[in-house]
């Protein structure tokens, strides 16, 4: 199923709660993935998620954020990030043993919930829950400040955005993406569907067509840790080049809606495109394995 047409009535899908990548980013990633997965993958995940509409991925893309601050979901609060203890801009890098908390991190969570998805002995509701986590965490790991320790991923760094005071994490989660689209006016599903359609075309036949052929290099369902670490280190490199190009201290209190935005916006767009394309490949691998039709990585 492909989602090139504009959304019309998606308000019923809106979910409450604080959201990483912003709801717009996660929803867009999910719609891009929907545009690239195989038809058999669509059928497989529509069944698991008990949703046979075209919004079966986007409708659960922010679920993991909506439950993280609840009493029940508190266990998952550390699963959305990995705190790279590096020193940008001089050195950027993620080390699993050093940076993943004992309670878990986004890298170990992608492994854990992928394994649960593939475990046919689990109850169907558990596998559905695992699918929701995987869809969300593949998005999270592509946000540069979800793979960085400085000031709690930028949450402790106060900056300005169009003269309003916000924290740096919020700028990378939400402000830049929303400004790129001219503001979303509380309609993230409509905006995400349109943005996803544009990025899908850019991947298929536009500026990302050539580069995207390499985006899934090294993706290996049998080694989710290595796969996720590749994604994490790629995202983390942006911390040195674009998030803190002159160091964390130099950005404090600065207005970021001007030149900083102009340099960061293409990076945000690229990371969202990669996340959606990679999520599709990951879900295809899971569905193929579950149905016994797995293909070798080079054929993806």
Query: Is residue 80 annotated as a catalytic residue, yes or no?
Result: yes
Of 140, 190, 284, 288, the active-site residue reads 140
Let me know: does 169 contact 156? Beta carbons within 8 Å: no
Query: Is residue 136 annotated as a catalytic residue, yes or no?
Result: yes
Query: Is residue 173 annotated as a catalytic residue, yes or no?
Result: yes
Of 55, 80, 127, 142, the active-site residue reads 80
Query: Is residue 65 annotated as a catalytic residue, yes or no?
Result: yes
Measured in whole angstroms, how far is the alpha carbon of residue 164 from the centre of its chain?
26
Other C-beta atoms closer than 10 Å to the C-beta of 249 total 8
SS3 assignment, position 100: coil
What tokens appear for 10 in the block?
A: 């998606």
Q: State the residue for tokens 């695992």.
A: 130
Query: Is residue 169 annotated as a catalytic residue, yes or no?
Result: yes
* CA distance linking residue 276 with residue 274, whole number of Å: 6
Which among 213, 192, 176 has a CA at the least distance from the CA of 10? 192
Of 136, 142, 242, 278, the active-site residue reads 136
Let me know: does 238 contact 270? Beta carbons within 8 Å: no
Of 55, 127, 146, 242, the active-site residue reads 146
Collect all residues with Cβ–Cβ distance below 8 Å to 35 and sequence separation of at least 6. Answer: 2, 3, 4, 196, 197, 200, 276, 280
Phi, psi torsion values for 149, nearest 5 degrees: -95, -25
> Widest CA span of the chain, in angstroms?
55
SS3 assignment, position 190: helix
Of 127, 142, 169, 278, the active-site residue reads 169
Of 99, 173, 284, 288, the active-site residue reads 173
Of 55, 63, 68, 278, the active-site residue reads 68
Q: Which residues are catalytic?
A: 21, 26, 65, 68, 80, 136, 140, 146, 169, 173
């Amino acid at each position: 199923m492909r989602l090139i047409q504009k959304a019309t009535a998606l308000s019923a899908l809106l979910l409450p709660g604080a959201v990483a990548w912003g709801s717009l980013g996660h929803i867009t990633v999910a719609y891009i993935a929907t545009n690239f997965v195989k038809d058999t993958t669509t059928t497989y995940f529509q069944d698991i998620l008990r949703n046979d509409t075209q919004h079966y991925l986007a409708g659960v893309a922010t679920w993991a954020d909506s439950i993280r601050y609840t009493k029940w979901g508190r266990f998952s609060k550390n699963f959305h990030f990995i705190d790279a203890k590096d020193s940008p801009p001089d050195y950027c890098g993620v080390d699993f043993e050093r940076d993943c908390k004992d309670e878990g991190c986004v890298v170990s969570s992608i492994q854990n919930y992928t394994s649960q998805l593939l475990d046919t002995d689990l109850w169907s509701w558990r596998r559905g829950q695992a699918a929701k986590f995987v869809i969300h965490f593949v998005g999270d790991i592509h946000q540069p400040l979800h793979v960085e320790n400085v000031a709690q991923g930028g949450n402790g760094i106060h900056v300005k955005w169009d003269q309003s005071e916000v924290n740096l994490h919020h700028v990378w989660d939400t402000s830049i993406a929303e400004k790129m689209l001219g503001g979303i006016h509380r309609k993230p599903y409509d905006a995400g569907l349109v943005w996803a359609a544009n990025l899908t075309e850019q991947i298929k036949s536009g500026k990302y067509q050539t580069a995207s052929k390499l985006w899934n290099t090294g993706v290996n369902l049998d080694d989710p840790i290595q796969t996720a670490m590749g994604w994490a280190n790629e995202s983390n490199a942006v911390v040195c080049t674009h998030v803190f190009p002159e160091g964390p201290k130099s950005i404090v209190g600065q207005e970021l809606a001007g030149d900083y935005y102009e340099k960061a916006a293409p990076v945000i767009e690229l990371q969202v495109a990669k996340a959606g394309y990679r999520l599709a490949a990951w879900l295809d691998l899971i569905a193929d394995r579950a149905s016994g039709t797995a293909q070798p990585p080079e054929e993806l």
